[in-house]
Chain A
Amino acid sequence: MKRLLYIGIFISMVTGATAQRAAVQRAAEFLQQAQYDSARHYIELAVGHEETAGWPLVQYYRGFIFKGLYTQNESQDPFSTSRGEAISSFMLFLQKDTTGKYDDSAIKSLNYLGTTLFNDAARAMDRTDPDVAIECYDEYKVVINYINPQKDFREQDIRFNLVLGTTYSDLYEQDREAREAFFQKSVAAYEKVLEIDPNHESANYNLAILYYNEGVHLIRNLPPDAPLTKLITTEEKTVELFRTSCPFMIRAYLKNPCKKETLIGIAGIFWGLNEYEFSDSVMEGLKLLKENEANGTSCDPAVQTKLKHHEVISSYFSTHYENN
């Protein structure tokens, strides 16, 4: 921070003290004293005047002033305007500055501000506010990508979209009729993960569960005296959902043949599709898995893949989905 003051004094010495230059000087002094409101007043005077508006160091100061305002007053606000202003100023500074002398501290500040955006995204997700989380996460990526264009976001995107998908599906399940849009948003989030890693176990499993449970819900919620026409159209929708769920559930199984829930899901899908023999075979596999678990034998994926149910599942997958 001391360096900022020195820069300010330097400006004053080499340029002479016009009113605008004095404004920059005053801004630097207030910044040094952490009096950010006053500092902002003077820096905005400098930004508004043609003589100083184009100075890279004005944006540099401005970045620190708004960063100070953010940390002082708005650190709990995911929509903090001060943070946005700070980011813009640091970016402008990096665009304009040709000396490279202060790039490190500007980049460090942008990194800090970007990380706060990431934290806000996580906190927003934690309090089940996915739309805010998306906004913060996207902004985080813009900032980090600016300072590191080579940054690979794929792992982070996977984690973020997995949590996002689960958050949307939780919201959807709380009130399916009123929150229909959340179903599609959840699907879209899981699909983003699968675009990056088509065999991602959790994304495949979660997406399969979303479709499968939706199908079950449609039938479960039918009144016991539903007219036949309603029953027939509902069953058609349900079967379509089960068919959509099936390849995702099988991919999750192939990735981890030892997960009981996946076998329960496959058996349920087969049953719902009226493929009784396949369903029974998968239930046999599940029974064996549970028995082994009860005996203290840990599941070996290599052994699982030699059992009958694995053959049934693999063959169903290759017949129905492998070339699609």
Chain B
Amino acid sequence: MIKRIFIGVFVALLFMSAGTPDQYDTNAKIKSIYIYNFTKYIEWPDDYKSGNFVIGILGESNVQGSLEAMAATKKAASQPFEIKQFSSVDQITSCHMLFIPRKQGAQLSAARKKVSGGATLIITEEEGLALKGSGINFIVQENKQKFELNKSNIEPYKLQISSSLLSLAVLVGS
């Protein structure tokens, strides 16, 4: 009888689950924190320092959700964040940052033309794009996310980069 009790309890306990994999997108969160920090280490011209701080996203990306969560509680200095999704290059309007996700990498050149003349930092996440017009490009080194920075794709847009950010970046370009 005692053995039966034991077996019953123990078998029931065996069905306890260790849980399921957490499907939270860590990469999206990491990128959104990087993007938030870029707003602290890069200075936009005076005429971009009022109103909302606009972060545009070309197409769909999980980063959008993380950025929206960040925007709900944080500001870029005194500017509230505004996260805008552009479903195509044609829809792109003035923004402080334009994030071009991996699957939209081929649109970089067209997107760059669209924002030329403004003070827009273009951020991408595909190997090689820092040499093709992107200011900051997320790359992977030893399974970790790093970022390349190409000054020649940033400074012409009247953006000033702090030396602290340069020291953390993988510098590419001339």
Chain A residues near B (Cβ < 8 Å): 112, 115-116, 118-119, 122-123, 125-126, 159, 162-163, 165-167, 169-170, 173, 202, 205-206, 209-210, 212-213, 215-217, 219-220, 222, 224-228, 231-232, 235-236, 238-239, 242-243, 261, 264-265, 268, 271-276
Contacts and interface: CB of A to CB of B under 8 A. Distances in A.
Nearest to B38: A228
Nearest to A224: B70
Given A202-B18, A209-B19, A232-B168, 9 more contacts: A115-B6, A119-B5, A125-B13, A126-B12, A163-B13, A213-B22, A226-B33, A228-B33, A273-B143
A264 B23 contact: yes
A243 B25 CA distance: 16
B170 to A, nearest CB: 13
Given A213-B22, A225-B36, A268-B22, A119 B6 contact: yes
Given A213-B21, A264-B20, A274-B140, A115 B29 contact: no
Contacts of A162: 14
B22 A236 contact: no
Contacts of A125: 13
Main secondary structure of the interface of A (DSSP, over half): helix
B161 to A, nearest CB: 14
23 contacts: A115-B3, A122-B9, A122-B10, A166-B18, A169-B19, A205-B18, A206-B18, A216-B24, A216-B26, A219-B24, A220-B22, A220-B24, A224-B32, A224-B69, A224-B70, A225-B70, A228-B33, A228-B37, A231-B33, A238-B26, A239-B144, A243-B143, A268-B23
Contacts of B168: 228, 232
Contact of B13 (A126, A217, A224, A276): A126
Interface of B: 2-3, 5-6, 9-10, 12-14, 16-27, 29-30, 32-34, 36-37, 66, 69-70, 73-74, 102, 140, 142-145, 168
Given A212-B21, A217-B22, A235 B2 contact: no
A80 to B, nearest CB: 14
Nearest to A273: B143
A125 to B, nearest CB: 6
A217 B21 CA distance: 11
A123 B144 CA distance: 44
A246 B103 CA distance: 26
B38 to A, nearest CB: 9
Contact of B9 (A123, A239, A261, A264): A123
A290 B19 CA distance: 19
Nearest to B3: A115
Contacts of B19: 169, 173, 209, 213
Nearest to B141: A274
B136 to A, nearest CB: 13
